[in-house]
């Protein structure tokens, strides 16, 4: 599988809010690595696909570097959640088709930065 990592540095404004984007990508979102630099304590992250609005990562009060591997629920053709066994849902990587990935930071402090490494394959 071919994978590419896009580095996005998000700088906040005076209100502590900032937005950054990957280039237009196609593939599966395999992981996002957040590297804490100088954001204020406990910033909130909302990562979505820019056009469709699909949620990739939504977490509040992230106060340390971390890596996530976002997944979404899989469904059958009847719309019901697919499960490996009762109570064990199936999840697959989130697929993006010719969209940018939008990273929104809130509560990051006045003119602070954080780095996100987004891997799509």
Which tens digit of pLDDT belongs to each residue from 39-90?
Answer: 999 999 999 999 999 999 999 999 999 999 999 999 999 999 999 899 899 9
Q: What is the mean pLDDT of the chain?
A: 96
**β-bridge mates for residue 48, sequence order:** 55, 102
pLDDT band for position 1 (cuts 50, 70, 90): low
Tokens of 102: 């939008």
Q: What are the residue ranges spanned by the domains of the chain?
A: 4-120
pLDDT band for position 32 (cuts 50, 70, 90): very high
pLDDT of residue 74: 95
- Rounded to a whole number of angstroms, the distance between the first and last alpha carbons of the chain is 7
51: left (phi over 0), alpha (psi -120 to 50) or beta: alpha
Q: Which fold has domain 4-120?
A: Jelly Rolls (2.60.120)
For residue 8, the 8-state DSSP code is E
What's the rounded Cα separation, in Å, for the pair 21 and 55? Answer: 14
pLDDT of residue 83: 93
Tokens of 120: 């799509």
């Amino acid at each position: 599988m071919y994978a590419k990592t896009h580095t996005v540095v998000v700088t906040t404004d005076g209100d502590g809010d900032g937005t950054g984007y990957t280039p237009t990508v196609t593939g599966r979102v395999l992981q996002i690595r957040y590297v804490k630099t100088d954001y204020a304590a406990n910033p909130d992250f909302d990562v979505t696909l820019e056009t469709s609005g699909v949620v990739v990562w939504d977490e509040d009060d992230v106060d340390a570097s971390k890596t996530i591997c976002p997944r979404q629920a899989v469904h059958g053709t009847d719309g019901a959640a697919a499960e490996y066994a009762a109570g064990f849902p199936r999840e697959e990587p989130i697929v993006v088709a010719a969209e940018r990935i939008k990273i929104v930071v809130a509560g990051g402090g006045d003119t602070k930065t954080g780095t996100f490494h987004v891997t799509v394959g």
